[in-house]
Amino acid sequence: MTVHSIVIQKLLSTNAHLGRRVAAHHFKVYVTGSRNGMSILDPDKTLICLRNACHFIGSLVRHKGRFLFVNTNSLFDEIVEQMTARIGCANDARWRIGGFLTNSSSPKKIRSRSKKINLGSTQLPDCVVIMNTDRKSSVILEADRLQIPIVSLVDSDVPLDSYRRITYPIPAKDSIQFVYLFCNLIVKTFLLERGRIAGTKETAGGETTRSNTSKRRKNIGEAAHVECSEIKTQTDEVTGPYESVVPTTDPSETKKLLDKLVVIKLNEDLGTTTGLTGPKSIIGVREGLASLDSIVNQIQSLNSKYGCNIPLILMNLLNSHDDTLKITEKYSKSNIEMHSFNQGQYPQVVVEDFMSLPCKGQTAKDGWYPPGNDNVLSSLMNSGKLDVLLTQGKEYAFVANSDNLGNVVDLRNNQKHGGLCSLTVTPKTVADVKGGSLNSNRRNVQLLGLAQVLDEHVNELMSTEKPMIFNRNNLWVNLKANRRLAEAGVP
């Protein structure tokens, strides 16, 4: 008997595969059949989701993240208490008070409750772990509003509104046996990661710090500039004419392709050049509609025409997240599936001693900066949404700027694509000032930006005298292939 068979047999012994009732449409991706009015959950998909959740919890343990464990079933109290005692986390029951998370930064709002409980620290958790979602709780709503990742067991009767807010759903019946198994895996994940941290510190010692400092100095001191003489625009081997791709005329084939697609809009571009401080996507374009409204209408049109389900995901900056939520609230009851995640941030560095600003005691917003659009896949992965999309059968992502309404879903750009990614390019014109051009001079074809060119050569690059291939700022990404590269440690 293989290891996989043993693990599946262990899951079946906990009755994790027996759902409470026939699953709704949003949960059918985890269902393999039904019997006697109950859903039969696919144990393979349960195992995949369980592994992804443990991997995410382990990554937070390595970064000393804070956890909040939520249990609304008294039958699991002893199991959860034993788990939290072994991993050294407080079994905090303050979540039972409505507004505990969303009001944590405003102690005055809950001062009247201080007579009943000791509020203690007001630090938000980095992850919320929920043992059962069938009991009504405001924790899911509050954690989702604060963009706190949620790991939760979900059964076939989980409401759609709750399911859409869970970052790492684990499809399984919340029986006592499975909850015990889940808590046991959490304990082993904690102990394993802490053991690795202790072993690294013991073997590496101060050498790790010295190595990281030297790498930091090297990365900061050496900018990756490209000379104009090194730019080569002959990219015939990797480009082809748009007319050569024949679109499919079969509606069923189109539906299959669209069901594997997710649309990601980069919502991190602020309108600072026009004197604004918010994201460009919420600026009115025509008849009271903003760019984001037009994007939603485009996706709704495709979903209605082909009967598919294309989710829309927004990548926000931390300081633009609240503004985006205001305009997306009106779509909360629509039939389009919308999610968002925040782009990663990196600390600013003091040139004199090569130390990051947070290390210098400066933790304000000015101490951090967004890395750019190339961070979209790693941010999507770190948010946990990539694993969720893969379990839902999504294979491709169409990535584009949220304020560029000309970039629409066109399957011809991805129809013959089987590699890691592809993008749409066009000959450069006078209007193409900002953006990137293709450079095939080095080992691989790269996207060349103005920041990589020395100041004295910027005008030469921006002119149209030198023929160049210009990027149209959209990208088709193979999610499975990029996930495999990330697991292999390829940046």
- Tell me if residue 323 falls in helix, strand or coil: helix
CA dist 476 and 427 (Å) reads: 19
Q: Which residue has the tokens 């996706």?
A: 299
- Whether residue 205 is contained in a domain is answered as no
Specify the CATH number for the domain of residue 72.
3.40.50.10490
Q: What is the pLDDT of residues 115-144, one digit of tens each?
A: 343 334 457 888 999 887 765 567 888 888
pLDDT below 70 — which residues of the chain? Answer: 1-4, 22-23, 92-122, 134-137, 199-237, 268-278, 318-320, 322, 345-347, 349-374, 413-419, 430-435, 438-444, 449-451, 457, 460-467, 487-491
Asked if 61 and 134 sit in the same domain, the reply is: yes
- Report pLDDT for 105: 45
Asked if 177 and 311 sit in the same domain, the reply is: no
Q: Is 481 within 8 Å of 405 (Cβ atoms)? A: no
- Report pLDDT for 340: 81
- Whether residue 462 is contained in a domain is answered as yes
Compute φ and ψ for 121, nearest 5 degrees: -70, 145
- Report pLDDT for 411: 79
Asked if 129 and 177 sit in the same domain, the reply is: yes
Asked if 182 and 270 sit in the same domain, the reply is: no
Asked if 178 and 299 sit in the same domain, the reply is: no
- Whether residue 261 is contained in a domain is answered as yes
- Report pLDDT for 206: 44
- Tell me if residue 120 falls in helix, strand or coil: coil
Residue 38 sits at the vertex; the CA angle it makes with 33 and 43, to the nearest 5 degrees, is: 50
- Report pLDDT for 475: 85
- What are the structure tokens assigned to 31, written together? 């269902």
Specify the CATH number for the domain of residue 317.
3.90.550.10
Asked if 171 and 286 sit in the same domain, the reply is: no
- Report pLDDT for 466: 67
CA dist 204 and 9 (Å) reads: 40
Asked if 393 and 483 sit in the same domain, the reply is: yes
In 3D space, the residue among 52, 55, 82 whose CA is nearest the CA of residue 69 turns out to be 82
- Whether residue 203 is contained in a domain is answered as no
- Buried residues in 78-108 as b, exposed as e (16+ CB within 10 A): ebbeebbeebebeebebbeeeebbbbbeeee
Asked if 241 and 191 sit in the same domain, the reply is: no
- Whether residue 147 is contained in a domain is answered as yes
Q: How far is CA 52 from CA 137, 311, 419, 465, 487, in A?
A: 24, 21, 24, 51, 12
- What are the structure tokens assigned to 178, written together? 């499975």
- Residue 26: other Cβ atoms inside 10 A: 15
Choose the final residue of a domain: 180, 196, 212: 196
Q: Is 303 within 8 Å of 310 (Cβ atoms)? A: yes
- Residue 432: other Cβ atoms inside 10 A: 17
CA dist 104 and 120 (Å) reads: 10
- Residue 315: other Cβ atoms inside 10 A: 23
Q: What is the pLDDT of residues 48-106, one digit of tens each?
A: 888 888 888 988 888 888 898 988 888 888 888 889 888 888 776 655 555 556 554 44
Asked if 97 and 33 sit in the same domain, the reply is: yes
- Report pLDDT for 4: 67
- Whether residue 202 is contained in a domain is answered as no
- Report pLDDT for 264: 92
Asked if 281 and 410 sit in the same domain, the reply is: yes
Range of the domain at 306: 228-487
In 3D space, the residue among 122, 120, 129 whose CA is nearest the CA of residue 50 turns out to be 129
- What are the structure tokens assigned to 242, written together? 């748009």
Residue 443 sits at the vertex; the CA angle it makes with 470 and 411, to the nearest 5 degrees, is: 45
Query: Which residues are CB-neighbours of 156 under 8 A, at least 6 positions away?
Result: 19, 20, 21, 22, 23, 24, 27, 31, 38, 39, 41, 171
In 3D space, the residue among 27, 134, 112, 123 whose CA is nearest the CA of residue 391 turns out to be 27
CA dist 147 and 317 (Å) reads: 12
CA dist 307 and 248 (Å) reads: 17
- Whether residue 348 is contained in a domain is answered as yes
- Report pLDDT for 311: 92
Q: Is 459 within 8 Å of 253 (Cβ atoms)? A: no
Residue 49: Cβ-neighbour burial (10 angstroms; 0-12, 13-18, 19+): buried
CA dist 278 and 270 (Å) reads: 5
In 3D space, the residue among 440, 486, 68 whose CA is nearest the CA of residue 236 turns out to be 440
- What are the structure tokens assigned to 43, written together? 């144990």
Asked if 185 and 42 sit in the same domain, the reply is: yes
Asked if 294 and 440 sit in the same domain, the reply is: yes
- Whether residue 44 is contained in a domain is answered as yes
Beta-sheet strands, E only, within 86-210: 127-130, 150-154, 168-171
Quick one: CA torsion of 379, 138, 391, 29, rounded to 10 degrees? -150
CA dist 127 and 139 (Å) reads: 11
In 3D space, the residue among 55, 85, 86 whose CA is nearest the CA of residue 170 turns out to be 55
Q: What is the total count of domains within the chain?
A: 2
